[in-house]
Amino acid sequence: MIVRVVKMEFKDECVNEFIALFEDKKEKIRSFPGCQYLELLQGLDAKKNVFATYSYWKTEEELNNYRYSDLFKATWADTKKLFSKKPEAISFKKLHSLD
């Protein structure tokens, strides 16, 4: 399993626009083949303009299929206009999980 984390920092005035964009796209992203889990996190207090998406993918190939899809390209085009800093993305191989 692949865990993908993308940290994004937005212009303060664009936070609500990003939240609305995520609300509009989240079901489509979650139902994309290979996506098993999707979560949006928001920073606390002075970091309320910092968000991270946290998603699980069956395989790296399926994650890459999403990353090169029309859905991702359109969503990313709308999202990147709102950034105040360059986003950071990293993928992990899930080794252990404790409930």
> Residue 15: which CATH number?
3.30.70.100
Q: Is 13 helix (H, G, I), strand (E, B) or coil?
A: helix
Pairing of strands 88-93, 35-42: unpaired
Q: Which domain holds residue 15?
A: 2-93
Fill in the amino acid letter for 78.
D
Cα separation, 41 vs 4, whole angstroms: 13
Whether 83 is in a domain gets the answer yes
Whether 74 is in a domain gets the answer yes
Question: For the whole model, what pTM was predicted?
Answer: 0.92
Tally of structural domains, the chain: 1
Whether 72 is in a domain gets the answer yes
Per-run averaged pLDDT (10 residues), the chain, 99 residues: 98 97 98 98 95 98 97 96 97 93
Cα separation, 26 vs 3, whole angstroms: 17
Rg (CA), the chain: 14
Whether 57 is in a domain gets the answer yes
Whether 82 is in a domain gets the answer yes
pLDDT value of position 46: 87
Whether 98 is in a domain gets the answer no
Q: What is the pLDDT of residues 6-22, one digit of tens each?
A: 999 999 999 999 999 99
